[in-house]
Amino acid sequence: MLAAMDNTANKLVCVVTNDGSSDATYTIDLSQFDSIGSVATPYRTSQNENLTQLTDIAVTNNHLEITTKANSVTTYVIDNATYTQGLTFERDSYYKIVNKK
C-alpha cells in the first residue's frame, strides 16, 4: 500500500496492490487526520479494467473498509483531507511496510 497527501488540493490517495489469486480485505485507519472526507472514490486497474471508476465507499468512524480484487491495483481518492501534525518519520530514511494479517 502506498499513501500520498496533496496538501494543496486536500486529497489523500491510497494505492493498494493485490497480486494474489484471491480478494483481500483491509481496514485503513484515518483517525490521525485533522479532517477527512466522507467517501473514497476507487479506481481499479486489472486484466479487464483500466483505471475504471467504481462506486464510492463510505468512510465510517474515520476508517475505510476496502476489498481489493485479486490481481489488481486499486487507487482510492479521498477529498477534504487535512493533516497539520507534521511528519512522523525521518524524511531521508527507508522504511519497510509489512502486511500483518
Query: What are the structural domain ranges in the chain?
Result: 2-79
Superfamily of domain 2-79: Golgi alpha-mannosidase II (2.60.40.1180)
pLDDT of residue 43: 98
pLDDT of residue 1: 86
Evaluate whether 81 touches 8 at the Cβ level (below 8 Å): no
Count Cβ atoms below 10 Å from residue 47 Cβ, excluding itself.
9
Say how far apart CA 71 and CA 11 lie, in whole Å: 26
pTM over 0.75: yes
Q: Per residue in 39-66, pLDDT tens?
A: 999 999 999 999 999 999 999 999 999 9
Kindly report which listed range (73-77, 92-96, 97-101) carries the lowest average pLDDT score: 97-101
pLDDT of residue 84: 82
* C-alpha dihedral, 53 to 59 to 60 to 62, nearest 10°: 150
Residue 96: pLDDT above 80?
no
Residue 61, sorted as left (phi over 0), alpha (psi -120 to 50) or beta, turns out to be left
